[in-house]
């Protein structure tokens, strides 16, 4: 059977045709989906430069729902559509659709942004073609292995599949040094490359006047004045995000400084639990749940806030750390994961042990002082050039070259 498929789908005269594959793409909301759009936009806007420098013939996006999708309106990147992965039947179709795309477009390398189903598709296509593929792990595909003590969410059978996907990849890139440590346990060290996430792509389509209106509305709705110290978290309402200890630490700090306010833009399985905890702590008047925010409202909250808070038990990278720096916010950052790569404690952020309520409380208290807060904000600005989008894109393109040469 394999020999028959190899004859049907085998390639010839391999050009340097590169594809990014995602089985979930915008407008589906998520950090990875936005990241892919930023990367694709940078490549598309500067295609001639990258094409010449890295000897690329064609660049493709393989994704579902690309027709009449404003996030797929590229000038130079070509689109290859697949089914959505909402059912088992569709998953099988997708595997063959990708195999056909690889054959028809003579694709030499696919970049997959997880070690799960997307990489299963790459590994499947590789069996019947000369395809090479690169995997980027953004966290849960590796961190939730049983041996890494993050809940053992993957079955032993699925762990074997993931490990096999990684084994057959040319490289696996990770987004933080902690993620590299995980990758070393399931991949050869010379295959593992650290490439951090870039500074978030600014949405210039959001009108300034709308943001200003939202800022005024937020200050009025929540009765905020210039003396308030406004804290914000945007992480999902999941246990691994450490909201319980964040709220308990905030309560201790609030007792010392009644000007503190906290906004939680969390949505997910534990939202009701967190609301109950806020009530039990007596914080209903100073802690507000604002749900999922985007567009002008998100921009307004980033402008209004003084401190960004992330007390996750594990955070693979933390794109919002960089976003908060852009908006001149001080960071309370978890010392588990990407925060340690980005920040130095008390130099450009306040790093916390997410398991320690006392340390989290100390962080809120420390950054309540405007002088200390402004010093960290000022120092953090020098971090941004390390994460410029074009710098990160070139790191990926260099990996593509190494994989295909």
Provide the pLDDT for residue 186: 85
Sign of the CA dihedral running 69, 233, 246, 114: positive
How large is the average pLDDT for residues 19-26? 94
CB atoms within 10 A of CB 3: 8
Domains of the chain: 2-198+388-404 (3.40.50.2000), 208-387 (3.40.50.2000)
Q: pLDDT tens for residues 116-151?
A: 899 999 999 999 999 999 999 988 777 655 544 554
pLDDT at 4 over 50: no
pTM (whole model) above 0.85: yes
Q: List the beta strands (DSSP E) in 33-175.
A: 58-64, 78-82, 109-112, 132-137, 171-174
Token pair in block for residue 189: 């060290």
Q: Are 43 and 389 in contact (CB under 8 A)?
A: no
| Residue 181: partners with Cβ closer than 8 Å, 6 or more residues away | none
Q: Which of 30-34, 285-289, 295-299 has the lowest mean pLDDT?
A: 30-34
221-258 residue pLDDT tens: 999 999 999 999 998 888 889 999 999 999 999 999 99
pLDDT band at 208 (very low <50, low <70, confident <90, very high): confident
Instruction: Report the pLDDT value the prediction gives residue 360, as an integer from 0 to 100.
Output: 98
User: Which of left, alpha, beta for 346 (phi over 0: left; psi -120 to 50: alpha)?
Assistant: left
Q: What value does the CA radius of gyration of the chain take, rounded to a whole number of Å?
A: 23
Q: What is the mean pLDDT of the chain?
A: 91
Tell which residue, 109, 121, 115, has the closest CA to residue 183.
Answer: 115
Stretch 79-103: mean pLDDT, rounded?
92
* Least confident among 134-148, 214-228, 268-282, 326-340: 134-148
State what percent of residues in the chain have pLDDT above 70.
Answer: 92
Per-residue pLDDT at 153 exceeds 60: no
* Strand partners for 224: none
Average pLDDT on 301-330 reads: 94
In this predicted structure, what is the pLDDT of residue 204? 58
CA 335 to chain centre: 17
Query: 65-68: which pairs have CB atoms within 8 A and are 24 or more residues apart?
Result: 65/25, 66/25
């Amino acid at each position: 059977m394999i020999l028959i498929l190899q004859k049907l789908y085998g390639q010839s005269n391999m050009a340097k045709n590169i594809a990014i594959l995602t089985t979930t793409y915008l407008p589906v909301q998520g950090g990875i989906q936005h990241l892919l759009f930023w990367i694709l936009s940078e490549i598309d806007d500067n295609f001639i430069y990258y094409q010449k420098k890295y000897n690329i013939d064609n660049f493709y996006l393989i994704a579902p729902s690309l027709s009449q999708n404003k996030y797929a309106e590229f000038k130079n990147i070509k689109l290859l559509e697949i089914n959505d992965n909402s059912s088992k039947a569709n998953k099988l179709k997708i595997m063959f659709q990708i195999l056909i795309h690889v054959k028809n477009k003579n694709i030499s390398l696919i970049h997959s942004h997880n070690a799960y189903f997307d990489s299963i598709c790459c590994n499947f296509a590789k069996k019947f073609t000369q395809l090479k593929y690169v995997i980027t792990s953004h966290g849960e595909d590796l961190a939730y292995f049983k041996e890494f003590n993050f809940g053992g969410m993957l079955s032993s059978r699925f762990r074997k599949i993931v490990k096999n996907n990684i084994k057959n990849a040319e490289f696996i890139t990770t987004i933080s040094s902690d993620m590299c440590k995980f990758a070393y346990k399931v991949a050869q060290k010379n295959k593992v490359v650290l490439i951090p996430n870039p500074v978030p792509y600014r949405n210039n389509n959001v009108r300034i006047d709308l943001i200003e209106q939202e800022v005024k509305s937020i200050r009025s709705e929540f009765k905020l004045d210039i003396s308030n110290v406004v804290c914000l978290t945007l992480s999902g309402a999941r246990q691994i995000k450490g909201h319980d200890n964040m709220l308990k630490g905030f309560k201790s700090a609030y007792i010392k400084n009644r000007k503190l306010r906290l906004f939680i833009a969390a949505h997910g399985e534990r939202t009701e639990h967190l609301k109950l905890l806020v009530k039990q702590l007596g914080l209903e008047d100073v802690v507000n749940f604002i749900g999922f925010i985007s567009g002008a409202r998100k921009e307004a909250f980033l402008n209004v806030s003084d401190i960004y808070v992330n007390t996750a038990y594990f955070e693979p990278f933390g794109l919002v750390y960089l976003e908060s720096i852009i908006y001149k916010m001080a960071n309370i950052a978890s010392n588990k994961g990407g925060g340690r790569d980005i920040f130095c404690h008390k130099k450009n952020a306040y790093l916390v042990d997410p398991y320690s309520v006392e340390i989290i409380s100390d962080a809120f208290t420390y950054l309540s002082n405007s002088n200390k807060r402004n010093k960290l904000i000022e120092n953090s600005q020098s971090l941004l050039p390390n994460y410029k989008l074009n710098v990160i894109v070139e790191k990926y393109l260099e990996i593509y070259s190494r994989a295909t040469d």
